[in-house]
């Protein structure tokens, strides 16, 4: 019936996003992009398992893209409609519950960012190339998908573009083929990935391997040659940063890490799975944005591997990444985490006390107070538990929920196992109360929990 796929939203923060009736396990995207005209042609094969028997299935896809053909489980074309950002597909034959649903969508158009209360997200045309930054709902601006963070799948992304350009996507480069004036780049991301973390970056870039003594993880940069000297200075401590975070958070969760620096300026850096994207303005030659470098690297654990199931729990991404900035500062000879926490607390104390970080609402979910107060929640927990139990908890969190979807309740339940005293007051005050609580005195630590 009309409107069927808009009822009973998966997430109240983004009621139009996400779809019921199936679980995606695999995306295979074949893209061809013309930089000069910002034209995208795509073929998306989406493999899923049905969770019930139904007449129709929906995918999220921008109206800026035109669908030409759809196939379901074979060569016969399927009926479809494409309205209000939903591609609704009617298979010729019923797919039973627990059956394989293999949808192939051919499409093309001029991709444009998705506009919302957070600005523009998704596919963005640059002066010489393109970038994708999809948090929270921009994935549908460039491919048909189940666009919700709890829907994670493996990906193969193939990009064909003009040969002077470098094309990057998530995962390992499996194949690069030059044919005439075009180059095809094929990447494989085997670990489960939320659709908003899938990315494509295209520009006049060169690859730069980051060398580090005793490095156990391949790290590289993709950037314009003109920024190489500034990059080598500004990003020089990434290997040490990785070592600090590996000790604090557990093993790095993917096969490699790539930093992209665009030739354009960006207001803020952005994370994707296995990738972080910075603007030319973040290479200032003065190491002036190192806290952001730490923040984006930390998202590989908190956000990309351990991913929230609903956007209301965004503090589990941003509060943790913000606290990682303070951990890096402390470990690298800068101000201690406690000093930075108290500075942030003073700053927050003069701002409006009208936000609940455990459920901030869609308009405020990227408010800086969610980031800072989320970090302060973790610092308070650290003071309550003591360092050994606190970092045992973080490593258990990233291990138990590696490549999974999580909720705040799962974190608070796990944290309870590392404290001899109940933590209900901490969560009530910091996550679900509006007034800013006082920080515990420095060095005031409860007895170590039973970790």
Annotated catalytic sites, by residue?
A: 296, 371
Kindly report the three-state secondary structure assignment for every residue of 3-66. Answer: CHHHCCCCCCCCCCCCCCCEEEEEEEEEEEEECCCCEEEEEEEEEEEECCCCCCEEEECCCCEE
- How is residue 371 written in tokens? 């980031």
Taking the C-alpha atoms of residue 105 and residue 82, their distance in angstroms, rounded to an integer, is: 12
- Residue 326 to residues 16, 62, 169, 379: CA-CA distances in angstroms? 36, 39, 30, 10
Quote the CA–CA distance of 386 and 444 in Å, as a whole number.
Answer: 9
What residue has token string 């991404």?
A: 317
**Residue 318 annotated as part of some ligand binding site:** yes
| Nearest by Cα to 199 from 145, 263, 264 | 145
Strand partners, 60: 86, 145
User: b/e string for 351-382 if b means 16 or more Cβ within 10 A?
Assistant: eeeebebbbbebebbbbebbbbbbbbbbbbbb
Note whether 56 and 90 are within 8 A (CB).
yes
CA distance 96 to 103: 15
Tell me the two tokens of residue 451.
Answer: 């970790």
211 marked among binding-site residues: no
d(CA 338, CA 345): 10
173: buried, middle or exposed (CB in 10 Å: 19+, 13-18, 0-12)? Answer: middle
Interstrand relation of 172-179 and 182-194 (parallel, antiparallel or unpaired): antiparallel
Tell whether omega for the bond before 136 is within 30 degrees of 0, i.e. cis: yes
Radius of gyration in angstroms for the set of CA atoms belonging to the chain, rounded to a whole number: 22
* Strands annotated E in 128-199: 129-133, 152-162, 166-169, 172-179, 182-194
Binding residues for Zn(2+): 295, 299, 318
Binding residues: 295, 299, 318
């Amino acid at each position: 019936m009309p409107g069927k796929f808009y009822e009973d939203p998966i997430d109240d923060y983004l009621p139009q996003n996400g779809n019921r009736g199936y679980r995606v396990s695999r995306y295979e995207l074949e893209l061809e992009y013309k930089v000069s005209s910002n034209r995208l042609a795509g073929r998306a094969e989406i493999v899923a398992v049905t969770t019930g028997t139904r007449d129709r299935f929906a995918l999220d896809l921008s109206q800026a893209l035109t669908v030409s053909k759809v196939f379901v489980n074979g060569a016969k074309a399927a009926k479809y409609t494409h309205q209000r950002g939903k591609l609704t597909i009617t298979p010729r034959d019923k797919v039973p519950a627990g059956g394989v649903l293999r949808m192939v969508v051919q499409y093309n158009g001029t991709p444009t960012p998705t506009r919302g209360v957070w600005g523009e997200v998704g596919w963005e045309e640059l002066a010489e190339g393109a970038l994708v930054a999809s948090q929270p709902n921009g994935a549908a601006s460039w491919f048909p998908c189940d666009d919700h963070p709890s829907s994670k799948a493996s990906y193969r992304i193939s990009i064909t573009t003009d040969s002077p350009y470098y094309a990057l996507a998530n995962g390992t480069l499996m194949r690069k083929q030059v044919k005439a004036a075009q180059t095809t780049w094929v990447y494989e991301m085997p670990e489960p990935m939320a659709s908003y973390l899938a990315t494509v970056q295209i520009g006049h870039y060169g690859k730069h391997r980051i060398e580090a003594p005793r490095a156990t993880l391949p790290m590289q940069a993709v950037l314009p040659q003109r920024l190489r000297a500034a990059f080598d200075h500004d990003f020089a401590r990434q290997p040490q940063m990785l070592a600090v975070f590996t000790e604090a958070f557990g093993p790095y969760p993917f096969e490699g890490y790539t930093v992209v620096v665009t030739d354009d300026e960006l207001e803020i850096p952005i994370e994707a799975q296995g990738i972080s994207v910075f603007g030319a303005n973040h290479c200032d030659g003065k190491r002036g944005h190192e806290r952001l470098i730490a923040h984006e690297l930390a998202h590989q654990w908190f956000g990309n591997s351990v991913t929230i199931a609903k956007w209301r729990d965004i503090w589990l991404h941003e509060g943790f990444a913000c606290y990682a900035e303070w951990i890096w500062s402390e470990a690298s000879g800068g101000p201690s985490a406690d000093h930075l926490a108290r500075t942030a607390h003073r700053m927050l104390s003069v701002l409006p006390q009208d936000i609940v970080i455990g459920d901030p609402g869609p308009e405020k979910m990227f408010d800086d107070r969610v980031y800072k107060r989320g970090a302060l929640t973790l610092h308070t927990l650290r003071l309550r538990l003591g360092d050994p139990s606190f970092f045992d908890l973080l490593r258990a969190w990233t291990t138990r929920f590696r490549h999974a979807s999580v909720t705040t309740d799962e974190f608070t339940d796990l944290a309870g196992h590392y404290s001899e005293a109940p933590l209900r007051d901490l969560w009530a005050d910091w996550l679900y109360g509006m007034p800013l609580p006082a920080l515990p005195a420095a060095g005031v630590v409860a007895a170590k929990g039973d970790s």
